[in-house]
Amino acid sequence: MATRELRRRVRNEQRGGWFPLSAFAFITFVAIPFDHFGHHLVVRCASTQNGGYLCAGYQPAALWYWPVALLLAYVAISVFYLHQSRERGVGTRIRPYVVVGVVLAVLVTAWALWAQAHPAFLAESLHLGTSPPTNVLNRLLSPAGGIGLALLLLAWIERSWLLLAITTGYLLIVVTGAGQHMHHSHVPPTTFPPPVSEWAFLPHVLLEGGILLLGAVILAFTQRAHARST
């Protein structure tokens, strides 16, 4: 019993999942002006085998904002965990998480550049069409998806069921939300319809950031409650 209690206390001291969630919530909210006030929407279209067109639209400012923001977030997370380790005398195996997170950020950026240049790649080369699996894959390979996948690893490292539950809920929001401005039609690309509203993206971004921020608050209060009880 004493060994189990000691292990539980050590794990609680090692945990700091509230900070990564806060950092990612921050960069998610900061991305809003890049999505809205960046350069005009760039649209690229490719013809499909059935005679239609598959088009992808993106904001160049937002496209380049995310890799920089993610890398800075992981630097801040590394500094936070190192400071926590020195302060508490108990370290967390944060290096695998940061390495995986940075790799995912690079892959997400590479995929975004490739997908924008080849809108019909998934639909034609992989024979996925414009089906739900295509949308889910695109969303998982977005910056938000990369954040969620890396958080799954952090939940395993910290042995935190609560962080796992929050991350699972976040990923569900990501994969079921609005995609990457994809549009499939049987009309020429010059008639690609504009978004319904310039702020159409905002509710989903606020929801993603809100889940991360709420999760950070829950984890912080839970960790503080455990500290007081011990």
Within-domain flag for 86: yes
Within-domain flag for 191: no
Within-domain flag for 3: no
Pairing state between β 182-185 and 42-47: unpaired
CB 66 within 8 A of CB 143: yes
As a whole number of angstroms, the distance between CA 182 and CA 199 comes to 16
As a whole number of angstroms, the distance between CA 43 and CA 53 comes to 12
- Counting the structural domains of the chain, the total is 1
* Chain centroid to CA 77: 15
Q: What is the DSSP letter of 188?
A: -
Within-domain flag for 16: no
Within-domain flag for 37: yes
126 is in which domain, residue-wise? 21-41+59-181+198-229
Residue keyed to tokens 């390495």: 99
pLDDT in tens, the chain (230 residues): 555 544 555 455 566 889 999 999 999 999 998 877 755 555 556 555 555 555 555 667 778 899 999 999 999 999 999 888 887 655 577 888 999 999 999 999 888 877 776 666 655 555 555 556 667 777 888 899 999 999 999 999 988 999 999 999 999 999 887 433 433 333 344 444 444 566 777 888 999 999 999 999 999 999 888 766 66
Residue keyed to tokens 């490292």: 157
Within-domain flag for 4: no
Within-domain flag for 9: no
Q: Give the predicted TM-score (pTM) of the model.
A: 0.78
Within-domain flag for 15: no
